[in-house]
Structure 1
Amino acid sequence: MKTILLGPGGQLGTDIRRANEAAGSVLDIVPVGRDRLDLADFDRVRELLSTADFDVLVNCSSYHKTDEVEGNAQQAFAINAHLVALLAELAQAKSARFVHVSTDYVFGGQDKREPLDEGDARAPVNVYGASKAMGEDLARLACDNTLILRVASLFGVAGASGKGGNFVETMIRFGRERGHLRVVADQHMSPTSTQDIAAALLTMLRDEVPAGIWHVVNSGATTWHGFAEEIIRRSGTEASVEAIPSSEFPTPARRPAYSVLSNEKLAAAIGAPRPWQDALDAYLAEKGYRA
């Protein structure tokens, strides 16, 4: 399958390329990064993709700096929603499969406090989540063969583009520098390895799973405090981790109090992803933080 990959240098894009190579290049990936295409230039996007030959279009790009996005709604909806609609339209014109990466942040305002499935009503609590929710809708309207992959709380070897490293790297760095961390304990989510998302995506494309929304996250859930505790313990970092309420760590954008995603649909289709703790151990080993 000839595959155009947007966002090839980010955490997920990097691991998609790595997983594909490890699997013997089952996809013929053409990486299209910022050096080749400014995704904010819709005319150029249409020009390049309408003349390209592809079977799959994978969109790993987004405007994802959550706090910055809060004050830049117009740009957020342009990149996270209207660009997505254009990409889906171009995929539809090629009779290609469109894969769009979304987020657990389409949730947060709901009353439900048990793992959320693909059919649960969305309730974003910030601009980023609202723009991604709109992107999901526009993608599915524009392309019949759309896969929406909702992911969450990512960690991957490439680090988080524009964020100064992912949460794992940040906790280890701050733990070493400060010896004491204060982390919110009232926000529940699903820590997820981009390596495992990449592996799942290859299988989903190979097995031609049905179009629609899929929660692609590691098994299990925790809070940011619980995640930080395991990072510090499993990496052998000498630091303590104090639990605090989110009210003691105010941010421009509100975060979901609960956005744990159920991966039961994915498990039934291709098998359950491993627990997030096992994925964290593998990540730490690869990065040299543990034997």
Structure 2
Amino acid sequence: MRPATLAGGDLPVASPSGRVAPGPGFPVPPSPGLAGAVLALGESGFAARFLDALDAVAPADMFSAFALEGPGVLRLLCAGGGQGCAPDFPRTASQHYAGGYWRHDPAMAAAVVAGGPAAAPLLRHQRRERIPRSHYRTLCYEEPRVLDRLSVLAPAGEGRPILFSLYRTQEAGCFSAADAARLSAAGAVLAALLGKHDALRRFAQPPRMAAALATRLQRACPELSPREAAVCGGLAAGQALKEIAREAGLGLSSIVTYRKRAYAKLGVGDRRGLLRRIEEAPD
């Protein structure tokens, strides 16, 4: 059955939920933008180079990318673009999304709750008018004049699915069926690129960052044991529990216990609360 077409646009979708029909397998041609993104892996300028790489797939005004750490838990990887928007808008809006706005996203909320795609990458299309009225729609779409979005949720190694989204403003217009088809073909590769960038960044930062954050936490909460502080420092630095366990030479269950004790002493319930606690702690 041919997929339906949204009124006012030519992007095929299979249902009002925003599921996009599989593309015909367009090849993604090598481009200077893609080469630049590869060369910038693990570096601070990666976001700008990744946005350039999208020009060969589905040109966008801005993008955001997250690691799905578990059911309902998003960690911001990077965001870029947003020319003409408020300074640092892509990152600020992405932080709001990871902090809970994803629950108001009709195209991706169910997949985030489920902890990622079952197997193949998931492609979703979301137009502004199909988002129920909420602070999410106002702050992330209406005020910055964002009109259209394509999102991909795909496995990217280390058990962490990657969710990334491309956005267009009213001035740029909506994504086309060809844009969606090319992104469908390239989604897994782009997710792998984002996952590798995240891995390189996290490899370069811990354990120095983790140790610094652990010291800061112990100053703010002397009741923490050195091991509890070290576990929290690793979590705040973006490490996974398995990673912390491997570096500490301990079992995963022990790391979970240290985390539970530390969270109780700090009065937090999750990683977001831990990060807020660190932000409030004196340097």
* Structure with greater proportional helix content: 2
Superposed pair shares fold, TM > 0.5: no
Query: What TM-score, normalized to structure 2?
Result: 0.25
Instruction: Say which one has the larger Rg.
Output: 2
Q: Which has the higher contact order (CA 8 A, sep 6+)?
A: 1
Query: What TM-score, normalized to structure 1?
Result: 0.24
